[in-house]
A = this chain, B = another copy of it.
Amino acid sequence: MKKASLKDIAQQAGVSTALVSYVLNGKEKETRVGEAIAEKIRQIAKELNYQPNHLAKSLRSGKTYTIGLIIADISNPFFANIARVVEDEAKKNGYTVIIGSCDEHAEKSWDLLNVLINRQVDGFIIVSCEGSESQVHYLKERNIPFVLLDRHFPEIQTDFVATNNYKASYDAGVHLIQSGYSKIGIMAYKSNMYHMEERVRGYKHALRDNHIEFHDSWLKEVHFETMDSEVRTAIDEILASGQRVDAMIFATYGLAINALKYINELRLKVPSDLAIVSYGQAEVFDLYYCPITYVQQPLEMLGKTAVEFLLTKLKNPEEGVKQILMEARLIARESSKAKPTAVGR
């Protein structure tokens, strides 16, 4: 059973395809189609279960009603959740999303970008990875609409929707300090991505503003690709250091997971041996024997707003640059509970 096309309907109705198109697109009034023939066309369309061919429509109109979503990894719960929000929000507006995982790899990201551009997506929502500045510039030059999500490049003027990571880390630091911890480490990715730097900067400022001297050994930066092993040595080091930390901030979900596994192996007790605050969001944090304090990013709003920005841009390409930093919320749990032995406050 071949799919019915406009032509098939036209033939059955004994009219031209133009009329069929008009009627089926609700333009019968403007184009003065006879009421009787219109009804007949609708009838036949229903009988043949006519479904318009999106490819043809898109080729003609230049609009595919498709948006490309480039993220690091769909199997990471943070991105999976974001993706879900984006999918739903897009669908609400008649758009379809194509998701691509680039594994924090600029090259894969380029590939994805090109594949999706060839597929004529109308625009992109992108969680940029390190070294992908050129891709952003390319999109700007080519005048392809896009919105950066979760991460952005401050030196490049673009639309973006992200979290105020500085503030989030600052809050996390202050929270730990107020809970009586004073030797606070942080683990982050080795990266010059702005959002990562901000996460570290916020933490440092929290220390500074509370008159705690920062020690270089407290900052552990690991490579994304070799995270599994590096996290372990990093933990070993940070615990062995002269200034052994009593609390740690993990700048991403992946780091926290790896660290927690190792911490369990070491039989360290959270929070008595080590207090913890992490970025990210997942069931683990609730179900861990000692529920983990975490930085709750406004996932839903991030995703929705990104879609919204992109869609308005698609409607009105001339509109000005839209940028927004959303505030995260620190969800305090057991893993950072006030130190019983705290003397200070």
Contacts and interface: CB of A to CB of B under 8 A. Distances in A.
B77 A100 contact: no
Interface in A244-277: 257, 260-261, 264
B87 A81 contact: no
A119 interface: yes
A134 to B, nearest CB: 14
A96 B289 CA distance: 41
Contacts of A260: 287
A117 B96 CA distance: 12
23 contacts: A1-B141, A52-B118, A53-B118, A55-B64, A55-B119, A56-B59, A74-B80, A74-B83, A74-B84, A75-B83, A76-B80, A83-B99, A87-B99, A96-B115, A96-B116, A96-B119, A97-B99, A99-B99, A257-B283, A261-B286, A261-B287, A282-B283, A283-B284
A101 B120 contact: no
A288 interface: yes
Contacts of A100: 87
Chain B CB within 10 Å — which of A55, A76, A98, A284 has the most?
A55
Contacts of A81: 75
Contacts of A75: 77, 80-81, 83-84
Interface in A178-203: none
A114 interface: yes
Given A54-B119, A74-B83, 17 more contacts: A53-B118, A55-B59, A56-B59, A59-B59, A73-B84, A74-B74, A75-B77, A76-B80, A77-B80, A87-B99, A97-B98, A97-B99, A261-B286, A264-B287, A282-B282, A283-B284, A288-B289
A267 to B, nearest CB: 12
A1 B143 contact: yes
A81 B80 CA distance: 10
Given A75-B80, A287-B284, A87 B59 contact: no
Interface of A is mostly: helix
A141 B114 CA distance: 36
A305 B283 CA distance: 29
Interface of A: 1, 51-56, 58-59, 64, 73-77, 80-81, 83-84, 87-88, 96-101, 114-120, 141-143, 257, 260-261, 264, 282-284, 286-289
Nearest to A264: B287
Contacts of A257: 283, 287
A84 B119 CA distance: 20
A74 B87 CA distance: 10
A54 B261 contact: no
A343 to B, nearest CB: 30
Contact of A287 (B54, B84, B142, B288): B288
Nearest to A56: B59
Contacts of A59: 53, 55-56, 59
A286 B256 CA distance: 13
A260 B288 CA distance: 10
B83 A120 contact: no
Nearest to A288: B287
